[in-house]
Amino acid sequence: MTDISARKYMLGNARTNLVRVGVSTLATLVITPFIIRHIGLEKYSYVALTSFFISFSGFFDLGLSKSLVYLLNDPEVSQPQRNQYLTAQGIIIGAILLLIVIIGLFSLLTGTSVLGKSLPATDPHFMIVTFSSFLVLMLTVFDQFLCSILESFFLLHHVNQGVTVKVMTLNALYLLNLFTWNSVSLYVFSSVLAILAATSYYGYVVHRHVHWQFCRPSGMTMKTMLLQSFHFFRFSMLNSLYSVLPRLSVMYISSDLSYIGILDVIEKLSMSVINLCSSILRPLFSLSRQAPQKIARQLMKVMALNGGMGLAFVGVIVVFNRFITGYFFSRTDVDLAFIGRILILYAFGSFFLLLGQPLSFYLQGEGKTNRLSMVFGVNIVIFLLLYVGMKEWLQMNALQNLSVCYLLVSAVYLVNLYRLARTTRHSRLLAY
């Protein structure tokens, strides 16, 4: 891509992303507190558990989505090679979905809880939450495959539109259920129907805009795809594990179901600006693959822009903290001052993650997945050591413990990313 076409692509993606984030933010700010107040924090936590389980999609993806974008954006790849890569990944994804089905059936038939202490097999909603969670996981993994195809062909704006479809469908179903049956089971299953709507949209767009011939992939193609995905798998697995550590800690360590709902709201708020910038910057991965030097020149500018947005976000959270917590939660359910402190810690942690986003996408495009994996591996170890240490010696509340760990590890993450970026072949461009 030329500089002009790259800018056009980034701007086009940004426009559709703003619509997506606008819809998602509106739903979070208006519908989420409305539902919590009407069904209670505990019932809302069942809904949040299903979305928490989606986090495991990064493990089952095996790095395939990243490897497909990486391989298809090789300037020297031919159309027959593209056909083979696309077909090979489709076959592998099919096998992964079959594995998820087997694990899900085993969990349901044996009554084995895969959602931790917060949802034991004796819980009255165990079956519907577990069943819905596995369906959502399957659809999410398949969506990642479809979205990687769209990203490979520079159609990311359709990915944003699909997310908008999902959010609008989900919240429409929430409101319909709220004013009719007000059933926990229907709230939970709404996530399945919403993701199914997004999957249908992605499938339609791929069918219409992406043209490739299904073929029998060669053994060499399968080997290349698997080897390349292995490099990204280590990165994706550690990245996924790092991003879900707070959720996993609450799910598998704490038996207090209300913590799930509280953490869900805090993450939605603190991650809103991160998700906005992440979607806008996502094209940097494919663009860095094609023109790394041109993209490297803009990194510091992008980091400065992200930093400005992050500081503004932190300022809003600090100034309007009491209003925000009181808006989402009832004083009879939780300690609002306590929740407010956690939200502030998460906001500062999000600021550091925002600064690191451009570097992460650029380094992925440069193929530095092994060293990125080391960054996430170090962060995971630090997080676990901090969490166990504060739990044992400081006797901190689980949520407070998590928020402090999140802040400290986010800062370490930024420092390590910047140090790694300075070692690339375009490091001189990051020196100012």
> Which amino acid, 392?
E
**Full domain range(s) for residue 86:** 3-430
Q: What is the pLDDT of residues 47-56, one digit of tens each?
A: 888 888 887 8
Residue written as tokens 């299953």? Answer: 189
Coil, strand or helix: which one is 218? coil
**Confidence class for position 301, pLDDT limits 50, 70, 90:** confident
Give the lowest-confidence range in 64-78, 162-176, 278-292, 312-326.
Answer: 278-292
CA distance 310 to 272: 11
Q: What total number of domains does the chain contain?
A: 1
Whether the CB-CB separation of 311 and 351 falls below 8 Å is answered with yes
CA distance 237 to 234: 5
Phi/psi of residue 320, each to 5°?
-105, 25
List % helix, strand, coil for the chain (3-state, nearest 5): 85, 0, 15
Q: Count Cβ atoms within 10 A of the Cβ of residue 400 and give its class: 0-12 exposed, 13-18 middle, 19 or more buried.
A: middle
Q: What is the pLDDT of residues 112-140, one digit of tens each?
A: 888 887 788 889 999 999 999 999 999 99
Coil, strand or helix: which one is 1? coil
CA distance 44 to 42: 5
Q: What is the token pair recorded at 208?
A: 């219409």
Distant-in-sequence, close-in-space partners of 211: CB < 8 Å, separation ≥ 6? none
Q: What is the pLDDT of residues 258-272, one digit of tens each?
A: 888 899 999 888 877
Report pTM: 0.84
> Which amino acid, 223?
K
The residue-averaged pLDDT of 94-98 equals 96
Q: What is the pLDDT of residues 63-83, one digit of tens each?
A: 888 889 888 877 778 888 889
The residue-averaged pLDDT of 23-36 equals 85
CA distance 39 to 183: 9
The whole-number pLDDT of residue 66 equals 82
CA distance 235 to 424: 18
